[in-house]
Structure 1
């Protein structure tokens, strides 16, 4: 588990933002991943919210070796096995029940499980998970929650996601327990559907420039 946690943290440090993406057409997956890599954001979370998501993961894993493709919105054991088979390099969950945490602890690839309360974070830490997703961040206290949790649980790191944009991201990234944030603004669904990958390259570069200084 320790090696998996270290791998997650290394992924989190590859860019200040992990784009959280919803893909409706798998043919857009490879050019999207290429655009994000070019823009300096190589980690991309493909949410399992559409029928195209699994094929999108599969195509990125095969065709864009510089991308770190994560499977997001994973909510059951069947999906865990499916995304591993599709070639995902990491798993992200929106929240984590005790049973799901046990399944994730045995996953073949690293996992960033979701939490929104101190009790959930503590339980995940006891199972060996030390790099967590804080979701939905803006609803459950944002930076105030992260500052507070750093006191009793300073060994944990978080990727806050949910309601974060280019203007609010800097406040999160100044915190010692936040190596990156997750956000949809870098690769909006409308731009993906329209094939505006040059625009996505620009959004990614703008995010890196502002958030990395």
Structure 2
């Protein structure tokens, strides 16, 4: 009976992994505030990985913030993140993965989501913000301003609902356009006003299967 109880708890945690993927399939269009979703939520205790052949984004901003949540064991944590925001973004050949460890009787379980793959339209996002802990890519920026006070960012500005986590006098940067190729990223959260995924494919795998 004790094993069954523990298993139930772990499966509830595993179900949390499904939330962003299921939401994405609906091509969310609910925008709040200035067209972006308010992000006053607690992040899950699992980082996820995103890989893409290319990300082409317009009205780019980047600044520092904090991601708050609880570990899988329920302990509170706060992690520094670099928030990247785009008014619009187009993503080619996107892969997202997250691994849930130690599921009872199974072991590790990996969720893999792919969209915008060859033969399909690019993934489209509007008013998108990414809480990033690690990013590797080849990047090109057009009309970039480096060293802008975060509170002066406009269109988009600081993500609605997260202003208390950002120093308005802190460092930030902005650009009219950003093109990132061969993207490999680890993140705590992604929020968008609209997220359209052409050719969506979602798979579960026993064991560890990540995008990179």
TM range (shorter): under 0.3
Higher percent of residues as strand: 2
Give the alignment's TM-score, normalised by structure 2: 0.21
The structure whose RCO (Cα within 8 Å, separation 6+) is larger is 2
Give the alignment's TM-score, normalised by structure 1: 0.21
Higher percent of residues as helix: 1
Q: Which protein shows a greater Rg?
A: 2
